[in-house]
Copies of this chain bind each other. A is one copy, B any other.
Amino acid sequence: MSTSDARVRRPRTEGDGRARRGPTMGDVAERAGVSRTTVSFVLNDRADAGIPDETRRRVIDAAAALGYRPNAGARALAARRSDWYGIVTEIVTAPFAVDVIKGAQDRALEQGKFLLIASSESEVATEAAGIEKLLEQRIEGLLYAATWHRAVHVPDIVREVPAVLVNCFDADGSLPAVVPDEVGGGRRATQRLLDAGHTRIGLVTLDPAIPASVGRRQGYEEALDAAGIPVDTSLVVAGDATADGGYSAASELLDRADRPTAIFCGNDRMAMGAYDAIKERGLTIPGDVAVVGFDNQELIAAYLRPRLTTVALPFQEMGARGVDMLAALTAGQSIGTEIVTIDCPLLERSSV
């Protein structure tokens, strides 16, 4: 059997074989009576190719009639440009990681990019495998998002592609990052309590070793300073970031002779515990004690009674900004290792 005999061209007619494949540009070209190149020019809107409207219309009609859908893989191969960004994050263990994804995906779509998501559930192996998979897809850039604001050591593989860290920053300081403005958030929360007339404001802190704790506390102190109120460190107690921790810490504050009239909790979970401590003592919120949380965990903040005034972490904005930085990076702009901070807005509800 000669070579030419062997090369049987499978006809693209209806009633083809089993595995039906979608129409290709060739099919569109044939139907429109033009070459494949022309189809490519029309569908990619290449203005410099001088395709008259009449031809353009024929091509577009043919594509529509056939239900033509471009093959992203083939396009990426030929164009040497995938239009994909990737994001690695712990999606399940962190309910708000989805907000980062949402923000990033929306912004990516605006730019004609598609966001591939790899979930790494804190398992280093899964994470590495996920990133590897993303690189096999030839993503143009990578977003590496953490579930809580901290310094991270990213795996080396991350450095093989333009990357931006979200809600975390590189321990080596060699990668650009987007993080929440914890200080501003802490200041804003405290200011809200000051505005409501409180002067004895308790603070329940998180683990003092983490950036969130440091920043929020700094904001608290800055706000007090600005108001001319001396910081009373006995009003600052440490919790363990859970509802129970908040309960204990709040109890400690409430059982003082000169108990504070307001409590700024390091996060919403602790605020939840603080609520219990306050109610248990027959005190009312915000009448006797006002409460402000941090994180805006919807399920807690919106459903506590009364609804909790809290500071929101700007996850969506961070995701979107991350994509912007990625776009700048891949466009060849050097954005260095800048760390961008995003504002944390105060959400007023009924606990102040």
Contact = CB atoms under 8 A, between A and B. Distances in A.
Closest 8 CB pairs of A and B: A73-B73, A299-B299, A92-B102, A72-B136, A243-B303, A73-B76, A117-B117, A95-B95
A80 interface: yes
A285 to B, nearest CB: 13
Contacts of A109: 129
Question: What class of interface size applies to chain A in its complex with B?
Answer: 35 or more
Contacts of A281: none
A91 B102 contact: yes
23 contacts: A21-B80, A69-B135, A70-B136, A71-B136, A71-B138, A72-B137, A73-B73, A73-B74, A73-B77, A73-B82, A73-B138, A92-B98, A92-B101, A95-B95, A95-B299, A101-B119, A102-B121, A114-B133, A117-B117, A242-B303, A269-B303, A276-B305, A299-B299
Contacts of A73: 72-74, 76-77, 82, 137-138
Number of copies: 2
Contact of A297 (B21, B69, B299): B299
Contacts of A305: 243, 247, 276
A124 interface: no
A19 B242 CA distance: 49
A241 to B, nearest CB: 12
A89 to B, nearest CB: 10
Interface of A: 19, 21, 69-74, 76-77, 80, 82, 91-92, 95, 97-99, 101-102, 105, 109, 114, 116-117, 119, 121, 129, 132-133, 135-138, 242-243, 247, 269, 272, 276, 279, 297-300, 303, 305
The CB with the most chain B CB atoms within 10 A, among A91, A135, A272, is that of A91
B95 A19 contact: no
A263 to B, nearest CB: 18
